[in-house]
Amino acid sequence: MSSIIVLLTLVISCLAKTVTYDFDIGWVLASPDGYTRPVIGINGQWPIPTIEANEGDTIVVNAKNSLGNETTSLHFHGMSQQGTGPSDGPVGVTQCSIPPGSSFTYQFTATPAGTHWYHSHDHAQYPDGLRGQMIIHDPIWEASLGVDQQIHFSISDWYHNQMPGLLHTYLSPNNPTGELPSPDSFLVNDSSTAPTLNFLPGKKYLLRIVSVSALACGSIQFQGHQMIVVGIDGVEVYPETTDAITICAGQRYNVVIVGQSNPSNSFSYLVKMSTTMLTTIPSNMKTEVQGTISYTIDNILKPLISSSFSNSTLSDSTTLDDMTLKPLDNQLLLNPVGQSIDLYVNQTYYPGIGSRISLGSQPWVEPKVPSLYTALSTGESASDPAVYGPGVSPYVLSSGSIVQVVLTNPEAHPHPMHMHGHEFQVIARGSGTWDGNTNSLPIIPMKRDVVLVPANGYFVLRFRANNPGVWFFHCHIDWHLAAGMAATFIEAPDQLQKLESIPLQGASICTSQGYAASGNCAGVTTTSDITSNANCNTIFNTNTDGYVNALSPYVS
Ligand SMILES: *[C@@H]1O[C@H](CO)[C@@H](O)[C@H](O)[C@H]1NC(C)=O
Ligand SMILES: *[C@@H]1O[C@H](CO)[C@@H](O)[C@H](O)[C@H]1NC(C)=O
Ligand SMILES: *[C@@H]1O[C@H](CO)[C@@H](O)[C@H](O)[C@H]1NC(C)=O
Ligand SMILES: *[C@@H]1O[C@H](CO)[C@@H](O)[C@H](O)[C@H]1NC(C)=O
């Protein structure tokens, strides 16, 4: 048996191929929920293409910015980007933005397998449409599931207004409580009409579901069918059966659903937006989308069962708790901890500026020089957090150490937190603050790359610093990221400098916009230091400058 697997692995790795996408990013009109608006499409189309490859393939994405009036970038959410940090995509972290008329080529290995997505990582731009699905297949695992068909779809909230205007209002001094803009509707696969799932009796389906939301979580429930969860984010897990799942911004679920063996009718499925994050819920907001699992038997389409399913309410007891999932690789609790980082969600109103959120000492503000380029150009100083500028909330991680991140969230709202470059273990989560007790930690903790920190609660993550790079850690509510809710992990900069260099194309899109492509900020603590050091990363400051920094993302 094991020799067959070795053989299969060999065959598959020999078949590793290069998958190339030419993406021309531009404005198109779309009406996913009946309201027509400009959205950001690719090659004249929206929804944008799905990226699909096998684990181990090389993916090349040639991205051309044809928007004319906005900068952009692409991030491939879920990819570990080992040795290919400059292709990770977040602006200010691993690259400068791609200005209108310019191009940037992303190249990386497709790993880990899983249901992923790709999206703009430039100034809260992706909710204007620049987000798509990305499926990385693990053929051996898929064969082991014995599924007859794979089906993939996204869920998301949707706004009728464009992000720049909404962002301006959200970040402005007139919004002291940081009230979030309410979405107008909820979409399944970029439509308010959910796709019909055509099932055959007794067949097995692998559903790959990704939330590409800007803000809201969504729950999914299938009438007359249970879900067997087999994967979350890029992590394959031991099967667990549930009636309902909740998927928050950036999260993915792989679930197996078995068609009923002798169905006498078709069934509904329900996708509901969670509105707990919203202060005001507009009366015309559409929070629910209903789809159909349709059975056709002997050429006869079975009628939909009539029931009050559409009004079913989800209780916590029927919704899966992701903490109970166990990864198939059986990775043991990482121990002992070499470095512990305490972060705290701090939403503060800065008079004259607006509401901002920090995780570390101050809200994240986009630096002039991408932090990765600073790490690659400052020699031994790269392991001094000060060279990155205080505005990026920098934490330097030493090579190979086990890093623990304790995040405390005193707010009345949960946050989906995402780390680039890693799937972390979630070793504890709860309400209040962590008591630091390590006696009852799971032996094999749950792992993923986006995890919810509860309202008035905490989580504790662990990962090994084995992926040299500069990795963003941030809230995946795109509004909160724009408000600064992020920190920067500079992982093993000494190793990183041996592995990577600043790409020519990356340097050129920095300099073409008047930014240096390398920089050292040691000793810079005030705004005037920044002004006098053109190479230096920026800081968040409480003058109008900070407001302007966070609000001037677009080329005028
Ligand atoms: C850019 O152009 C598009 C298409 O005309 C428009 O809908 C959008 O509002 C513009 N964006 C900005 C920031 O002006
Ligand atoms: C969802 O949309 C993608 C393309 O955007 C498509 O490939 C996929 O088949 C759709 N899923 C369903 C269930 O229709
Ligand atoms: C379900 O809810 C809708 C609106 O939310 C309402 O119009 C309908 O009467 C309800 N149906 C049942 C069976 O309760
Ligand atoms: C939150 O940030 C503000 C502004 O920097 C600071 O004054 C305050 O002490 C912080 N609160 C906590 C609990 O750290």
3-state secondary structure 473-541: EEECCHHHHHCCCEEEEEECHHHHHHHCCCCHHHHHHHHCCCCCCCCCCCCCCCHHHHHHCCCCCCCCC
In Å, what is the CA distance from 425 to each residue of 203, 208, 209, 444, 476? 34, 22, 21, 9, 18
- The arithmetic mean of pLDDT across residues 134-150, rounded, is 98
Q: Which residue has the tokens 């696969």?
A: 189
Q: What is the pLDDT of residues 417-470, one digit of tens each?
A: 999 999 999 999 999 999 999 999 999 999 999 999 999 999 999 999 999 999
Supply the residue whose CA is at minimum distance from atom 13 of ligand 4: 346
Residue type, 437: N
Q: Mutate which of 25, 69, 554 to test ligand 1's pocket (most atoms within 8 Å of Cβ)?
A: 69
| Nearest ligand (C-alpha, residue 410) | 4
As given in the structure block, the two tokens for residue 509 are 């899109």
Q: Residue 367 to residues 167, 314, 536: CA-CA distances in angstroms?
A: 19, 43, 8
DSSP annotation of 118 reads: E
Q: How far is the CA of 286 from the centre of ligand 3 (A)?
A: 14
Instruction: Judge if the beta carbon of residue 533 lies within 6 A of ligand 2.
Output: no
Cβ–Cβ < 8 Å for 411, 445:
no
State how far the Cα of 211 lies from the Cα of 68, in Å rounded to an integer: 28
Q: Which of 315-319, 368-372, 410-414, 523-527 has the lowest mean pLDDT?
A: 523-527
Q: Closest ligand 4 atom, CA of 410?
A: 13
CA of 343 to the centre of ligand 4 (A): 12
To test the pocket of ligand 3, the residue of 275, 288, 311, 312 to mutate (highest count of ligand atoms within 8 Å of its CB) is: 311
Structure tokens at 333: 């609790």
- Torsion 484-486-76-460 (CA) sign: negative
Distance from residue 354's CA to the centre of ligand 4 (Å): 15
Residue whose CA is closest, atom 5 of ligand 3? 311
Q: What's the rounded Cα separation, in Å, for the pair 359 and 92?
A: 17
- Angle at which helix 544-551 crosses helix 163-171, to 10 degrees, equals 160
Q: Whose CA is nearest to atom 10 of ligand 3?
A: 311
**Tokens describing residue 403:** 């890093």
Which residues face 537 on adjacent strands?
A: none
Pocket perturbation via mutation, ligand 4, pick of 346, 364, 393 by most ligand atoms within 8 A of CB? 346
Nearest CA to ligand 3 atom 8: 311
Name every residue whose Cβ is closer than 8 Å to that of residue 21 and which is 6 or more positions away in sequence.
49, 51, 59, 60, 61, 62
Q: Please tell me the residue having the least CA distance from ligand 1 atom 12.
A: 69
Q: Residue 196 pLDDT more than 50?
A: yes
User: What is the Å distance from ligand 4's center to 166 Cα?
Assistant: 26
Question: Could you identify the atom of ligand 2 that is nearest to the CA of residue 47?
Answer: 5
Buried b (16+ CB within 10 A) or exposed e, 171-190: beeebeebebbbbbbbbbbb
Query: What is the reported pLDDT for 543?
Result: 43
Task: Give nearest CA residue, ligand 4 atom 10.
Answer: 346
**Which range (177-186, 472-481, 523-532) has the least confidence?**
523-532
Nearest CA to ligand 2 atom 9: 152
Q: Which ligand is nearest to the CA of 166?
A: 1
Largest Cα span, the chain: 77
Domains and CATH numbers, the chain: 2-137 (2.60.40.420), 149-324 (2.60.40.420), 339-550 (2.60.40.420)
Whether ligand 4 lies within 6 angstroms of the CB of 348 is answered as yes
The response to whether residue 205 sits with its C-beta less than 6 Å from ligand 2 reads no
Given a cut of 50, whether residue 552 has pLDDT beyond it is: no
pLDDT of residue 534: 55
pTM comes to: 0.93
Ligand 1 atom with the smallest distance to the CA of 69 is: 1
CA of 207 to the centre of ligand 3 (A): 28
The Å distance, Cα 103 to ligand 1 centre, comes to 19
Predicted pLDDT of residue 546 = 40
Residue 329 and residue 323 in contact, taking contact as beta carbons nearer than 8 Å: no
> What is the distance between the alpha carbons of residues 421 and 55, in angstroms, rounded to a whole number?
16
Q: Please state, in angstroms and rounded to a whole number, the distance separating the CA atoms of residues 395 and 385.
A: 6
Phi/psi at 376 (nearest 5 deg)?
Answer: -85, -10
Determine which residue's CA is closest to atom 7 belonging to ligand 3. 311
Weakest mean pLDDT among 37-46, 170-179, 246-255 = 170-179
Q: Would you state the pLDDT for residue 518?
A: 76
Question: Which residue would you say has higher pLDDT here, 538 or 485?
Answer: 485
Using CA atoms, how far residue 429 sits from 186, 188, 387, 414, 437, in Å, is 29, 30, 33, 12, 12
> 117-121, 209-213, 247-251, 294-298 — which is least confidently predicted?
294-298
> In this model, does residue 70 exceed pLDDT 70?
yes
Specify the pLDDT at position 2.
62
- CA-closest candidate to residue 453, choices 248, 315, 209, 313: 248
- Cα 383 to Cα 123: distance, rounded to the nearest angstrom: 27
DSSP one-letter code for 279? S
Q: Does residue 189 surpass a pLDDT of 70?
A: yes
Percentage of the chain surpassing pLDDT 90? 76
Amino acid at 407: L
Beta bridge partners of 267: 293
Tell me which residues have their CB closer than 6 angstroms to ligand 3. Answer: 308, 310-311
- Is 47's C-beta closer than 6 angstroms to any atom of ligand 2? yes
- Token pair of 172 as six digits: 């402005």
Q: In the beta sheet, which residues pair with residue 212?
A: none
State residue 398 phi and psi, 5-degree precision: -90, 145
Cβ–Cβ under 8 Å, residues 452 and 232: no
Cα 311 to middle of ligand 3, angstroms: 6
The ligand with the least distance to the CA atom of 353 is 4
525 contact partners, CB below 8 Å, separation of at least 6 = 390, 539
Q: Which residue's C-alpha comes closest to atom 14 of ligand 1?
A: 69
**pLDDT given at position 30:** 98
- Centre of ligand 1 to C-alpha 69, Å, is 6
Cross-strand partners of 344: 408
Return d(Cα 381, Cα 500) in angstroms, integer. 17
- Please choose, from the candidates 447, 456, 446, the residue with its C-alpha nearest in 3D space to the C-alpha of residue 415: 456
Centroid of chain to Cα 357: 18
Rg (CA), the chain: 23
Nearest of 368, 347, 339 to residue 461 by alpha carbon = 339
Q: Of 348, 393, 407, which is best to mutate to test ligand 4, by the most ligand atoms within 8 angstroms of its C-beta?
A: 348
First to last CA, the chain: 62
Q: Which ligand is nearest to the CA of 72?
A: 1
Nearest CA-CA partner of 433 in 460, 393, 395, 398: 460
The answer to whether the CB of 211 is under 6 A from ligand 4 is no
User: pLDDT digit string (tens) for 272-302?
Assistant: 999 888 888 888 888 999 999 999 999 999 9
Alpha-helical segments (H) within 335-413 = 371-377
Is the CB–ligand 2 distance for residue 294 below 6 Å? no
Residue 531's pLDDT is: 55
SS (H, E, C) 435-449: CCCCCCCCCCCEEEC
pLDDT band at 363 (very low <50, low <70, confident <90, very high): confident
Confidence category of residue 523, pLDDT binned at 50, 70, 90: low
- In whole angstroms, what is the distance from residue 230 CA to residue 146 CA? 12
- How big is the CA angle at 462 (ends 459 and 468), to the nearest 5 degrees? 130
